[in-house]
Structure 1
Amino acid sequence: MEQQLRSILQQTHPVDEVVVADDGSGDDTLAVVERVFEGAGGTPRLVVLPGVGRHGVTANFERAILATTGDLIALCDQDDVWRADKIERMAAIFEDRPDLLLAYSDARLIDAAGRDLGGTLFGQLEVDDGLLARIASDGAFPELLRRNTVTGATVVFRRALVADAAPFPELWVHDEWLAILAAALGSVRGLGLPLIDYRQHGANQIGVQAPTVRRKIARVLQARGDRNRNLWRRSELLRERLILLSPRVRARDLELVDGKLRHEKFRAQLPGNRVRRVIPVLREAATGRYARFASRGNADIFRDLLQPS
């Protein structure tokens, strides 16, 4: 964590404040924070929110975000390391773009010791230039509604988004919630440049895994459990929030959310018997909703046909 904090303090575009929200850690996190900031001379301003019990990832990020005061808010996750020009580059993206509510970048993957793993975050998430171009050209909402590719550790967003995003719903992770609302209320941009070192190790709360064939097959054969019911409920929560914000949400995007909600409800209510799923799934596939709304597109047709209950 010390390396992470020092990378924040050494930015070419200085940060104004650092908010640290302790989620009931049992280690020396707060002692490390105090030691690093002792030599900072009071700049940037440090705010420490002590941990009282465990809040969980999303709730802890929410209370940290609500404690910030800056016009642009950059999230920092666990023990990642910022490139010295991260804030300078990200802040420049927002200049003369009042419609831009959120931007995010690629990241270099490193191991627990800081060694380069030879891959990038976008590579693991299968984010290519075509996807980034669609997101930048008014396609962010349909793309992020289908599959979130925004990682919180790389995100910078405007303060204006906070009032619309809070309170964060429990079933949504903070980064995907901020990203989808930013796409509904303004614009989003992804920068295909690694601006942080994203550390991968067993203690990560949230990490990435390579999309190997073995993992894809394992995902298809994984028991359905509560996943589909949660996706249905998440769609309901998103629709409820967008209805509240509807004077500022495009009719096209509200229609997309309705379609997503119908699709996830359909998937959640599929029968346990695989044979009985075949005709309903094929009918749903014919509507094109798997391609538009399922996280893996048409590949999720096979998931719904093959997954055990």
Structure 2
Amino acid sequence: MDQITILMAVYNPDKEWFKEQLSSLNQQTYPKVKLLICNDASPDISEKELEEFIDKYVDNIQWKLISNIENKGSTKTFERLTLEADGDYFAYCDQDDIWNKDKLYKELKYLKSNKACMVCCNADAIDTVGKILTKSYMCITDAEKEKIENNTIWKELLIRNCFWGCTMLISSDSARNSLPFCKNMYHDHYLALYASIQGRICFVDKALMQYRIHGDNQTGFLKDANDKKSYIKNRILPLRARYEMLLKKQLPEEYKAEIENVLKWVKSREEYAQGKWSRVFDMLRTGININLKTTMFEIMTLWLPERLWKWQIEWLKQNKGK
């Protein structure tokens, strides 16, 4: 029987949420599960306290706690977990969600039936007290489902992520072969992209877990873009290093050609953001088939005065989904 190892990164966990997550892992119906937890140098809880807490709520599966000497952030912590874990499959895990008892069992069954190397499931969104906010919160469009089915979702993943790490189950070979993780990409985005290039990924459109929404979630709509400077710093400037690193990976030529095209688009966006307005034509020429929405957004707004930029960002955040 294949072994599934759950990889969990922990940093200053809320004890009530952490208890609920640990309890849900402990109750998994799949019979061969291990749990590897990495404490990312949490300042407010000692390693001994963590061990005692975990031991209190996890008694049905084997577990181990390791610790970073200094804070590395979630991506580097998950990279270490991937490097040090054993097992046939890895399930990436946050510290504050709740998994259905049959999450791992159903995901592995679906992965094998589709001869895939990675599977993701949907999730219900819950609030801080566990009340369901939205059923099947992960919005995978029909177009994206078709790309998953046709094994062309990798082109979408070059530009944006549509999967969450906490929903993932991936073959350990695929995860290990992806190391080191790509700079300036969250671990889930990178793993989904790498898996979609190296093999087949699939999606279970059923909520097999509950994803907790709170103020400390790492991702969110334009969360890291409060002004023009932060948008350029967080949404444009890191991209060049990302795609340059991807080009150094051992990838088939057809994938490298597409990455090189995306890199040209990124460079034109970078120069346009720095005030080289003539780069607008290069942005349009490359961006029209890559991400027209982002291209037009930046062409129409990056020249705006700071005050107008902030106003439009706040308006977009408040009206998202309306």
TM-score between both structures, scaled by the size of structure 2: 0.79
Matched, 1:267 2:262: no
Q: 1:19 to 1:291 in 2, by over 3 A?
A: farther
Contact persistence 1:106–1:195 (CA under 8 A): yes
Contact persistence 1:106–1:154 (CA under 8 A): yes
CA RMSD of aligned residues (A): 2.5
Structure possessing the higher relative contact order (Cα contacts under 8 Å, 6 or more residues apart): 1
- Give the partner amino acid of 1:90: E
2:215, 2:234 → 1: CA distance? 25
Contact persistence 1:122–1:128 (CA under 8 A): no
- Give the partner amino acid of 2:186: V
2:271, 2:177 → 1: CA distance? 31
Number of residue pairs the alignment of both structures matches: 282
Which ranges in structure 2 are unaligned for 5 or more consecutive residues?
Answer: 1-17, 307-322
Matched, 1:191 2:207: no
Q: CA deviation at 1:227?
A: 3.1
**Which of 283, 287, 301 pairs up with 2:296?**
301
Matched, 1:59 2:76: yes
1:269, 1:259 → 2: CA distance? 16
Q: Deviations over 1:63-105 (max 9, x none)?
A: 112222111111111211101111111001222554x221112
**Which of 47, 56, 60 pairs up with 1:35?**
56
- Give the partner amino acid of 1:17: K
Q: CA deviation at 1:220?
A: 8.2
1:91 maps to what in 2?
108
Mean Cα displacement is larger for which, 157-166 or 106-115? 157-166
| Structure 2 residue matching 1:69: 3-state secondary structure | coil
For residues 1-309 of structure 1, the aligned pairs below 5 Å read: 1-25=18-42, 26-27=44-45, 28-37=49-58, 39-40=59-60, 44-98=61-115, 100-123=116-139, 127-204=140-217, 206-209=218-221, 223-225=231-233, 227-241=235-249, 245-246=250-251, 249=252, 251-270=253-272, 272-273=274-275, 277=277, 279-285=278-284, 287=285, 289-294=286-291, 297-308=292-303
Which ranges in structure 1 are unaligned for 5 or more consecutive residues?
Answer: none
Contact persistence 1:161–1:182 (CA under 8 A): yes
Q: 1:281 to 1:53 in 2, by over 3 A?
A: same
2:204, 2:228 → 1: CA distance? 31
Contact persistence 1:108–1:196 (CA under 8 A): yes
TM-score between both structures, scaled by the size of structure 1: 0.82
